[in-house]
Amino acid sequence: MPAPLLEMRQIVKTFGSLRANDHVDFEVQSGEIHALLGENGAGKTTLMNVLYGLYQPDGGEIYWKGEKITLHSPRDAIRHRIGMIHQHLMLVPNFTVLENILVGLPSPKEPFLPIQETLTRLEDFAAQYGLPIDPTLKVKQLPLGLQQRVEILKALFRGADLLILDEPTAVLSPLEVEEFFAVLKNLVGKGVSIIFISHKLDEVLRISDRITVLRQGKRIGTIETRQATQPILAEMMVGRAVALDHSFPKGGAAQPILELKGVSLTRPKVGRVLKEITLTLHSGEILGIAGIDGNGQEELADVVCGLIPYSAGQMFIEGRSILNPTPRKMKAAGLGYVPADRQRVGLVKNFSIAHNLVLKSFDAPPFNAYGFLREKVVRLNAQQIIAEFDIRAADLLQPVGELSGGNQQKVILGRELKLAQRLLVAVHPTRGLDVGATESVRQFLHAQKQKGIGILLISADLDELLAMSDRIAVLFRGEILGVVPGEAASLPAISRMMLGERLEATA
């Protein structure tokens, strides 16, 4: 075998008493797609941050193209042509797409910004890789899927021999994943090597050449993808056999709990993002919402949760009309909400896990007595949820910002699933979770459903929707094109509706 493109030897990185990377060896061959797998908190992002110069390792060496290198900052990584797409997007929401791409890019005509050149190159890239984007839009106006596209373009613009992709597909819909994989294949064809992190084993098996698995900071092993199967990988990750494809019993819907009648939402400059949505969710039912990202799913969730006032229509909970819903009213009505953008909406990063877990309930008993926070109860609550959801953290007072991506999500899930007394709106609830955690969240959702809670499940993962939902409604450009039963046989109909075809059959 030729000398590897990259070799990381015995990398150690500790945070306080926690060893996030414990003597990890990792190598990438030129021209390969190397997948990095591991549970939430296994140390994948940490290892990649070391490689990108964001963290200084406490031990170990890095060899790049045969030479030993030291990376003091991302500048060094960029200079060596190492690129990275981060798990939490590194975009400036207030900047336009173009500005986000231009930041830090060397200019052929310093100090002027190479605007014209970049626009031309952007068109080239768009055509070449199938990544069209409107460069004049502000990033905050884009759905997550398109924001991801901006990150990809950013990395491509900087030029890279090695591209680190930290869970790039977590925010993509199945169709976008296909496009994305085509982009990756294209890149590999042009001599770029890729490190690919994902929790979706089927993706990893399809796209990678080799797979390295980490568990609790240690390298468990590296195998050729052709010799790998999902059960093998899952066992390497978790350390024991994991049940993978679980399907859940359907049925059990009772009386209507949430009804939307002709609900529309108009946004300034954007236009109508929701068009006369009429839906009924029953208690004890999981109603799936399918659709390509950016077709109104997130707005629908925000409207139901009272975050955005709708422009027209009516909303009922248990038959009672809810006028001007606010998050507080909806919470009081027994609603839990797992938002799509957990980084911005769901958590206060500097607060401890314990405090984040009572963000919505600190003002009432049992957490509050006479206006004082009852820290003991707050901590007890945290202990319970941490155990129940298997949140991996140093202790319950650790700031949420220090947790691994997947564990941050478990914190929100733990809080919201507890709050949901009648109704739960979950947007991509298993996005970014490892196989074990995904499984337990699905179990939990199912258990809630059996308790008679109505669940609106918005997900880009069709397999998840099919496995869990009793019925599936498809959103396209803010409109519901049809509702079908949640069974494998509905798949072709769903796919067609996701692309805009209207179907007559409803369930």
Ligand X SMILES: Nc1ncnc2c1ncn2[C@@H]1O[C@H](COP(=O)(O)OP(=O)(O)OP(=O)(O)O)[C@@H](O)[C@H]1O
Q: What residues make contact with other proteins under the rule CB under 8 A?
A: 52, 54, 73-75, 78, 84, 86, 90-95, 99, 102-107, 110-113, 154, 158, 401
Say how far apart CA 148 and CA 89 lie, in whole Å.
7
Under the binding rule (CB under 6 A), the answer on residue 212 touching ligand X is: no
Distance in Å, CB of 104 to other proteins, minimum: 3
Nearer to ligand X, 18 or 473 (CB): 18
Q: 46 touches which of Mg ion, other proteins, ligand X, none (CB within 5 to 8 A by kind)? A: ligand X
The edge-to-edge listing of strands for the beta sheet with 271-282 is 271-282, 256-267, 312-317, 320-321
Count of residues that interact with ligand X, criterion CB under 6 A: 19
Distance in Å, CB of 321 to Mg ion, minimum: 44
CA dihedral 145, 132, 499, 409 (to 10 degrees): 0
Continuous H helices in 289-434 = 297-304, 327-332, 353-356, 375-388, 405-419
Which of 405, 454, 478, 486 is in the footprint of ligand X by CB under 6 A? 405
Q: 81 touches which of other proteins, Mg ion, ligand X, none (CB within 5 to 8 A by kind)? A: none
Under the binding rule (CB under 6 A), the answer on residue 414 touching ligand X is: no
Residues that bind Mg ion (CB under 5 A): 45, 87, 405
Instruction: Say if CB 253 and CB 301 are below 8 A apart.
Output: no
Under the binding rule (CB under 6 A), the answer on residue 392 touching ligand X is: yes
Under the binding rule (CB under 6 A), the answer on residue 43 touching ligand X is: yes
CA dihedral 374, 380, 382, 383 (to 10 degrees): 160
Nearer to ligand X, 166 or 298 (CB): 166
Nearer to Mg ion, 45 or 409 (CB): 45
Q: 161 touches which of ligand X, other proteins, Mg ion, none (CB within 5 to 8 A by kind)? A: none
Distance in Å, CB of 46 to Mg ion, minimum: 8
Distance in Å, CB of 85 to other proteins, minimum: 10
Say how far apart CA 277 and CA 262 lie, in whole Å.
5
Site string for ligand X, 14-33 (x = CB under 6 A): -x--x-x-------------
Instruction: Say if CB 348 and CB 359 are below 8 A apart.
Output: yes
Nearer to ligand X, 164 or 279 (CB): 164
Cβ neighbours for 364, distance < 8 A, ≥ 6 positions apart: none
The region of 13-21, 125-133, 271-279, 302-310 touching ligand X under the rule CB under 6 A is 13-21
Q: Beta strand pairing status for 162-166 and 193-197?
A: parallel
Structure tokens at 214: 């980490």
Q: Show contacts with ligand X in window 44-73 (CB under 6 A).
A: 44-46
The helix (H) or strand (E) run that includes residue 34 is strand 33-38
The region of 34-42, 63-71, 124-132, 421-429 touching ligand X under the rule CB under 6 A is 34-42
| N-to-C CA span, the chain | 57
Instruction: Say if CB 263 and CB 277 are below 8 A apart.
Output: yes
Distance in Å, CB of 59 to ligand X, minimum: 16
Distance in Å, CB of 21 to other proteins, minimum: 19
The residue type of 409 is: Q
The residue type of 328 is: R
Say how far apart CA 149 and CA 144 lie, in whole Å.
9
Structure tokens at 408: 């941050």
Positions that interact with ligand X (CB under 6 A): 15, 18, 20, 38, 40-46, 87, 392, 402-407
